[in-house]
Amino acid sequence: MGNILKFNHVKKAKPFSRKERADLHAKLHEWRTLIDQGNLDQAEALLPQLTKCKGRWEERDLNYLYTLFNAGYHLAKGDHDVYNEIMSDLENNTAEFCDEHLHFYFRLLGSREMEKRNFKEALKLFYKAEAEDRAHEWADVGFLYNIAYCLSHIDNTKKATQYLEMAMELAEEKKIRVHDIYIQCLLAINHSKLGQFDEAFKLVNNCLFIEKFKKNTDASMGYIYLTVGRIYYLYKDYSNSITYIDIAAKYFTDGSKQYMRCLYAKAQTLFALGNKKEGLAHVNKALKKIDSRTEWGATREALLTALKYSVSLSNPMAMQHLVSEAIPKLQELEQYAEVVEYYEKICRFYEEVGDNRQALKYSKLVAQVYAEYIENRVACAV
């Protein structure tokens, strides 16, 4: 299953010439690039050209590259069982890996952790991959973006911005445009978090100009408009935030991940406006559509549930659910920023009702979790 190569089964065959070997190495990286860019149909079409050579692959380095990229192919397809089987098989051979193999091995492990939203662990693995790339041969635009994405999610904003700028420079140098929208939108969010709103709006306006010029009407337009909505939210212009979130939602299929992100963002903004009833309606609508059996769904469910209970703190049952269920789940998922945010809300609530003992308790929890949060940021910045 999964085209896992068993090296003791590789038959003796005429060795590749230097040119044949170089061509196959290039073809393998062409396959990997298609996978990394999400062009899975083209990757599938290229697969027969690679598998027909397997019987001749006496060079273990080519075998290992094929197997590593094949693991990435199945990860991109969501075939986690096959991915796990391949990676388990490879783990027994890491002592034989060269720098190139180790780089992509750690990248794959990091990508899986990122997919599970274990951003701290993902960064550790991505940095290990970086360390194996001493000559800077394999760090492509997508890899730099993934590091920035993880850093953004632990609010290491300045370092995330550095990696995004590196990704933009490399994309310009290599004339690679497939990641442009995602890099610029994430960079815009990070500029907003730093209070650099003029720069943020400049970036998203540039994205909109490019996509409208191409007469694009697909989900990338929705992604840009959702980013605009998030920037307005950070700017505390909640009316404009809702306007652009609503525009974004029209570009996504009802029930898709991006559509669910729109529902969450709109609920968050409605609560910020003080419109609790409509905000709760959007939360409940999203919760009904989520498949919590998936990793993504479980995380999104935890975020929505915490948001739902946090707007009814005067209700003892809601407070109990938030403290004993929702927040621990967010901690388990390493959503430190949200945990700090909700503990601060609880602290303010108790201050307002004059319960100083409880306010002090949650103030200490804020400091405790924030210290852990900072510790994680430092560990991931080394």
Mean pLDDT of all residues in 72-98: 91
Contact 255, 289 (CB under 8 A): yes
Flag whether pLDDT at 39 surpasses 60. Answer: yes
pLDDT at site 4: 46
Flag whether pLDDT at 3 surpasses 60. Answer: no
Average pLDDT over all residues of the chain: 86
pLDDT at site 25: 86
Highest-confidence segment of 60-69, 246-255, 283-292: 246-255
pLDDT at site 215: 63
- Tokens encoding 268: 């968050």
Q: Which domains does the chain have, with CATH numbers?
A: 1-97 (no CATH), 140-198 (no CATH), 217-286 (1.25.40), 290-382 (no CATH)
Mean pLDDT of all residues in 100-125: 90
pLDDT at site 379: 58
User: b/e string for 285-300 if b means 16 or more Cβ within 10 A?
Assistant: ebbeebeeeeeeebbb
> For the segment 19-30, what is each residue's pLDDT rounded down to a tens digit?
878 888 888 999
- Tokens encoding 367: 């400091």
pLDDT at site 200: 96
Higher-scoring residue by pLDDT: 205, 78: 205
pLDDT at site 9: 44
Contact 229, 241 (CB under 8 A): yes
Flag whether pLDDT at 213 surpasses 80. Answer: no
Mean pLDDT of all residues in 360-380: 77
295 — pLDDT class (breaks 50, 70, 90): low
DSSP result, 115-177: HTT-HHHHHHHHHHHHHH-TT--S--HHHHHHHHHHHHHTT-HHHHHHHHHHHHHHHHHHT--
Residues 297 and 187: their CA atoms lie apart, in Å, by 25
Flag whether pLDDT at 55 surpasses 80. Answer: no
189 — pLDDT class (breaks 50, 70, 90): very high
pLDDT at site 247: 95
Flag whether pLDDT at 377 surpasses 70. Answer: no
Residues 331 and 224: their CA atoms lie apart, in Å, by 30
Residues 154 and 260: their CA atoms lie apart, in Å, by 21
Residues 159 and 381: their CA atoms lie apart, in Å, by 8
Residues 251 and 140: their CA atoms lie apart, in Å, by 29
Contact 346, 313 (CB under 8 A): yes
